[in-house]
Amino acid sequence: MAPLRFEIVTIFPGFFAGFFEHGIVRRALAEGLVEVGVHDLRAFTHDRHRTVDDRPFGGGEGMVLKPEPLAEALAALGIEPRSDTSPCQGTALEVAKAPDAEGGGGFNPRNAQPESTGASTPGESRTRVILLSAQGRPFTQAMARELAGQDRVVLICGRYEGVDERINRLYCDQELSIGDYVLSGGELAAAVVLDATMRLIPGVLGNEASGEFESFGVTDGEIATDADGVPRSQHGAGGLLDYPHYTRPAEFGGLRAPDVLMNGDHRQIRRWRREQQLRKTLANRPDLLEKAALSKEDLKLLEALRQQTDQAT
Ligand code: SAM
């Protein structure tokens, strides 16, 4: 199987150097399980100052990433503009069609001649073009799982006030946000998407199943629990948060690691871990419980935990 290839378009290609040199990302790259191309947006400019930004139409603060260098960078990756410019996922804005949209002056992305990279348009080669944006849909583990099944993921990093919206309309399949806060640029967000996606590719994690049994793991009751509600795995998943982890020493800072984890009874350990998952999810992310795969035993336990919470308040 060909490795999943990430293409990152950025004005700061050097940003990613350290990120690629550590841990699982480094190993996955070294073993050829994933490939990454980092593309300097300024290489697709044609003026002396290598200008990538311009003032916003309508006035206001800051600068906007110009569409032409981005369109050329995408063309060099074999990415064609879409013919259907209706808003892509996570985009509701209307943009008027340029009078010269089918030809005429200026750069027209429909007429761009891509360099041959062996890639074709989105859909044919399972290429996903993503604009990193605080205005995008929230990035989730489920999206990471879906991206891990693509051939190629193109990540466009915005800067300044963002990217000219026509790039989103013409090229992007998804506009993704990594959280409800504003970063200075899309590079950190691209690193987050790459990391979360890459570790779900078969072979990247030592244990094939470990991605399933972490926080937000698959919501599959078959995997999550036995008929009696005890998780089948050493770990737990089913769309809940992970349980707390402990290692040696058994005593630290006046706190003892839970005895149940050291008694060798794996059934008890699984029960304890499941209860911890439910406690943590109820306390920190009760919204996840609505979609989680819960057994009858889980539901009973949750009811008891809720009652405990009610009594404590
Ligand atoms: N004016 C934009 C807004 O209010 O939504 C913020 C632009 S931000 C300063 C510059 C770039 O950082 C964005 O174009 C985007 O690529 C990236 N960025 C900022 N916050 C992000 C987030 N939460 N998720 C993904 N990308 C983000």
* Pairing state between β 4-10 and 152-156: parallel
Q: Is the CB of 200 under 6 A from ligand 1?
A: no
Looking at the fold, whether 78 and 188 belong to one and the same domain comes out as yes
pLDDT digits (tens, 9 = 90+) for 64-109: 999 999 999 999 999 999 987 765 555 444 444 444 433 333 333 3
- Confidence (pLDDT) at 219: 56
Taking the centre of ligand 1 as the mean of its atom positions, its distance from the CA of residue 133, in whole angstroms, is 4
Q: How confident is the model at residue 217 (pLDDT cuts 50, 70, 90)?
A: confident
Looking at the fold, whether 193 and 220 belong to one and the same domain comes out as no
- 252 inside domain: yes
- 149 inside domain: yes
CA distances from 16 to 7, 137, 299 (A): 12, 24, 44
Q: Which residues of 208-227 are buried (b: 16+ CB within 10 A; e: fewer)?
A: eeebbbebbbbbeeebbbee
Where does a domain end: 198, 222, 243? 198
Residue with the two structure tokens 């640029």: 185
Where does a domain end: 139, 171, 198? 198
Looking at the fold, whether 187 and 56 belong to one and the same domain comes out as yes
Looking at the fold, whether 70 and 115 belong to one and the same domain comes out as yes
- Confidence (pLDDT) at 16: 97
Task: State the number of CA atoms in the 13 A half-sphere of 160 facing the CB.
Answer: 17
Domain that holds residue 12: 4-198
CATH of the domain at 147: 3.40.1280.10
- 206 inside domain: no
Taking the centre of ligand 1 as the mean of its atom positions, its distance from the CA of residue 103, in whole angstroms, is 32
Taking the centre of ligand 1 as the mean of its atom positions, its distance from the CA of residue 13, in whole angstroms, is 17
Looking at the fold, whether 15 and 129 belong to one and the same domain comes out as yes
Q: 223: which residues sit within 8 A by CB, 6+ positions away?
A: 212, 213, 217, 232, 233, 237, 238
Atom of ligand 1 nearest to the CA of 162: 14
- 203 inside domain: no
CATH of the domain at 270: 1.10.1270.20
Which residue's C-alpha comes closest to atom 21 of ligand 1?
A: 134
- 272 inside domain: yes
* Pairing state between β 255-256 and 251-252: antiparallel
Where does a domain end: 134, 168, 198? 198
Looking at the fold, whether 114 and 237 belong to one and the same domain comes out as no
Looking at the fold, whether 149 and 18 belong to one and the same domain comes out as yes
Higher pLDDT, 313 or 303: 303
Looking at the fold, whether 60 and 158 belong to one and the same domain comes out as yes
Q: Is the CB of 70 under 6 A from ligand 1?
A: no
Cis check: omega of the bond before 81, within 30 degrees of 0: no
Looking at the fold, whether 32 and 175 belong to one and the same domain comes out as yes
- 93 inside domain: yes
Average pLDDT over residues 283-296: 92
Nearest to 45 by CA among 107, 105, 102, 132: 107
Looking at the fold, whether 194 and 233 belong to one and the same domain comes out as no
Question: What is the number of domains present in the chain?
Answer: 2
Looking at the fold, whether 155 and 260 belong to one and the same domain comes out as no
Q: Of all residues in the chain, what percent carry a pLDDT higher than 70?
A: 79
Contact 176, 193 (CB under 8 A): yes
- 209 inside domain: no
Q: Which two tokens stand for residue 40?
A: 């300097």
Q: Is the CB of 227 under 6 A from ligand 1?
A: no
- 207 inside domain: no
Q: What is the phi/psi pair of residue 59, to 5°?
A: 80, -175
Q: Which two tokens stand for residue 72?
A: 């050329």
Q: How confident is the model at residue 115 (pLDDT cuts 50, 70, 90)?
A: very low
Q: How confident is the model at residue 218 (pLDDT cuts 50, 70, 90)?
A: low
Output the pTM of the full model. Answer: 0.85
Looking at the fold, whether 186 and 242 belong to one and the same domain comes out as no
* Pairing state between β 174-177 and 251-252: unpaired
Q: Is the CB of 13 under 6 A from ligand 1?
A: no
